[in-house]
Amino acid sequence: MRRFAVFLIPAAFLFGSCRPAAAPVSISNRPATVNDLPVKKPLQEFTWTRADGKETSLKDLRGKAVILDFWATYCPPCRDEIPHLNALQAKYSESGLTIVGLNSGGPEDRPKIPAFLKETPIEYDIAFPDDGLISTVFDSDDRIPQTVVINRKGQIVKKIVGFSDQIKMELDAAVQAALSSN
């Protein structure tokens, strides 16, 4: 019996303590990644420079749902996406949606923007992202367009690469989710 107790006690300890794991607990309020975006600093601190030269950040858009759309004049899918973004801006601007078109074509692309706008009007703000924002968004994928949908709390709802009819539906769903968060 004593031998049995010697084996029973350790076995009871080992097998009796094997319970389902508890839910993960966050040890920080700054995640390492959000939707595959590596976070090098808080999202609210990334900036862009508007066409009028004013530096802006997500902090300035607190309480709004935001779409950051990374595009360039030489990008055919960007040209295809812009009319849909114009429609989203028109439909949801009064509901608190702000769209910022961030030209990521580099300094050589900037002089081409006025001619591009004559062919493909953009009805939302155009700006130029800071290097930190560019390196974060394009860290794992450098294709454009890249569209980041952010909710009213400043959290990323979805990051989308490219544009198609399927992506259009994903973007619409992400905008709905971003607008409905309080």
> Rounded to two decimals, what is the model's pTM?
0.77
SS (H, E, C) 90-159: HHHHHHCEEEEEEECCCCCCHHHHHHHHHHCCCCCEEEEECHHHHHHHCCCCCCCCEEEEECCCCCEEEE
pLDDT at 176: 96
pLDDT at 40: 60
Per-10-residue mean pLDDT of the chain, 182 residues long, equals 50 42 33 49 83 91 95 95 98 96 94 96 96 86 93 93 95 96 76
pLDDT at 94: 96
Query: What are the structural domains, with CATH classification, of the chain?
Result: 50-180 (3.40.30.10)
pLDDT at 178: 96
